[in-house]
Amino acid sequence: MRRISPLDMLSGMELFLTQSLKATTPEIGEALWRLGEARTRTRERVNKIGEVDWTAGPGLSSVGDLLYHIAAIELDWLAVEVCGDVFPPGWNAWFPVDVRSSDGRLTQMRGEALERHLERLAWVRAELVKTFEVMTPEDYHRPRELSAYTVTPAWVLHHLTLHEAHHAGQIAFLGHLHRAAPGPA
């Protein structure tokens, strides 16, 4: 991390610096911060749209579908890969349906308020942070051997950051399409 000098603050230039959230090591804290930055961008894009049920066409995902998916995948990686198939208490109240329909598409989450989607995302993130902020460096890098692959919690945070950034881009694109869509005649 770069230190900020008083001259930097007076120059009026934007400063692009990483930070470290509370954790047992700066490495884990910085990974949590990056994941938080991805969430900030997701929320910014969602707030520009406001409409969570709109789709660009039949069979396509809405913002709400994507928000449910982001939260469900974050929970799954946390519970299965990091915690050894141990889900936090109360998880099923937040996820009443599977993340994918029987045909493999994202589940349609129509009719749910934006606030509910944001609360779900916040709940999952709090569970994840609670797990990672006390994780030892050894555990953070300890491989978890699953039937199909081996993964470390460090890689999980990397993956979740990329996953959320990808879907934030989709949400931004949905916002462009929504604004360009013809209004009611």
pLDDT of amino acid 136? 97
Quick check: 52 and 41 in contact, CB under 8 A?
no
Residues 8-37 pLDDT 10s: 556 666 766 677 778 889 999 999 999 999
Helix extents (H) in the chain: 6-11, 26-49, 63-76, 91-94, 114-132, 137-141, 153-180
Mean pLDDT, residues 111-122 taken together: 96
pLDDT of amino acid 4? 55
Quick check: 45 and 168 in contact, CB under 8 A?
yes
pLDDT of amino acid 67? 97
pLDDT of amino acid 185? 45
Where do the domains of the chain lie, and which CATH numbers do they carry?
A: 32-179 (1.20.120.450)
Q: How large is the C-alpha radius of gyration of the chain?
A: 19
Q: Which residues contact 24 (CB under 8 A, 6 or more apart)?
A: 133, 134, 135, 136, 137
| Averaged pLDDT of the chain | 90
pLDDT of amino acid 20? 77
Q: Which residues contact 119 (CB under 8 A, 6 or more apart)?
A: none
